[in-house]
Structure 1
Amino acid sequence: MSGVVLPPGQGRRLITKAQEVTFKATKAQGSAVSIFEVVVPPGFDVGAHVHRDSQEFFYVLQGELQLMAFEPQERTGQSWQDWRSPQGDRVIRATEGACMFVPPGTPHAFKNASDAPARMLFQCFPSPYHELYFEEIAEIWASGETVDPRAVERMRRRYDVDQLTPLRYDPPALLPTRPATEHGV
């Protein structure tokens, strides 16, 4: 078996309305850890969620993200940005070089609240959960102007994602002209 060497910008890309994912190392290449570079556009909020079996690692390469990885005192259903842990942990503003490790069973989330795209290196163990998830979510996003929340919920159950707060994508150009939308994905 050979290793994988990729020049900057290389790898298989999935581009959707909500984000860009570049596969760097996958199960098909012999990796037990799925590794991606993800471009997170302004206004994208993955929503708080939990994985029973997966662990994840996020490393901010460029830009700014809000990050959260703890069990809150109270899980509120619409927003995670004000969550606080019993120990006083809060959501942090993460810039280049910041990282987040998420063990199984830990609620976590990220959001790009800035007006510029952010880039992060994202690793998930075991592969291929998130590889398959990203491929299927790209198909769902591409299926039309609206997203079927039931299809997304079924997909998430298959890939070890228990969603706690909604995923939202409200590009800044749209924010002043209409209320925030909840795509249910």
Structure 2
Amino acid sequence: MVSGLLVPPGHGRSLRSAAQDVTFKVTGEHSRVASSFEVVVPPGFDVGAHVHAHSEELFYVLEGELEVLAFEPRVRTGGDWRDWDCRDGRRPVRAEPGTVIAVPPGCPHAFANRSDTPARMFFQASPPPDHERYFEELFAILDDPGPLDHAAIAALRLRYDIEQLTPMRHREP
């Protein structure tokens, strides 16, 4: 007999850090296809533009608003991805509740909360359980006191199919 999985509101395995709050809803233990999370993005958090060679991601904004990017820019420059544009004229946009962002492998993408209030999104990543392990290790780095260790984050991201194009930022108002 095969049974499905029901995860009620407020349930799932939670990870919390100074930078983010993630609740795993569906993990590699439950699905061969994707891991699913609920993510709270605090004000000032910017994941930085990055690209995955093999992973696919889907974001659905539930509350608040996020600035998002999901296109190949004319030029991949360091600094601020908000200045990027695409050959077809696309630019980063403000994603409000109900917005879906689908990111295929090889597509540069980013999100940031530039508002004064937390944003909440549903996040799905394939294949599982890479993102689960990634979040666990990332939160350990983010919770270290002192300045953000960009070298440790870069090394972590390389291990998990993440090419960082612009810096991750947090602890900024």
TM-score (norm 1): 0.89
Distance 1:149 1:76 in 2: 17
Separation in 2, partners of 1:96, 1:140: 30
Equivalent position of 1:54 in the other structure: 55
Identity %: 55
Aligned partners of 2:19 and 2:120: how far apart in 1? 13
**C-alpha separation between the residues in 1 aligned to 2:164 and 2:99?**
24
Aligned residue number for residue 179 of structure 1: none
Q: Which residue of 2 aligns with 1:23?
A: 24
**In 1: Cα distance, 2:27 partner to 2:47 partner:** 22
Shift of 1:31: 4.1
- Superposition deviation, residue 129 in structure 1: 1.2
Greater alpha carbon shift after TM alignment, 82-91 vs 150-159: 150-159
**Structure-2 residue corresponding to 1:164:** 165
Question: Unpaired runs of 5+ in structure 1?
Answer: 173-185
Q: For 2:154, what is the secondary structure of its paired residue?
A: helix
Distance (Å, rounded) in 1 between the aligned partners of 2:126 and 2:40: 20
Does the 8 A contact of 1:55 with 1:102 survive in 2? yes
Q: Matched residues in 2 for 1:144 and 1:3: separation?
A: 41
Q: Which amino acid aligns with 1:21?
A: V
Number of the residue aligned with 2:45: 44
What is residue 94 of structure 1 aligned with on the other side? 95
Q: Counterpart in 2 of 1:119?
A: 120
Alpha-carbon distance change, 149 to 79 in structure 1, aligned in 2, over 3 angstroms: same
Tell me which moved more, 163-172 or 18-27: 163-172
Structure with the greater relative contact order (CA < 8 A, sep ≥ 6): 1 or 2?
A: 2
Q: Is the CA contact (8 Å cut-off) linking 1:41 and 1:171 kept in structure 2?
A: no
Distance in 2 (alpha carbons) for counterparts of 1:29 and 1:111: 29
User: What value does the CA root-mean-square deviation take over the aligned residues?
Assistant: 1.2
* Post-superposition offset of 1:149: 2.2
CA deviation digits over 1:50-97, x for unaligned, max 9? 000001000000000001100111111011001110000111111000
Q: How many residues are aligned here?
A: 172
1:147-182 CA distance string (max 9 Å, x none): 33222211111100000000011432xxxxxxxxxx
Unmatched tracts of structure 2, length 5 or more: none
What's the secondary structure of 1:44's corresponding residue? coil
Letter aligned with residue 42 of structure 1: P
SS at match of 1:168: coil
Give, in whole Å, the separation in 1 of the partners of 2:4 and 2:16. Answer: 25
Amino acid paired to 1:120:
M
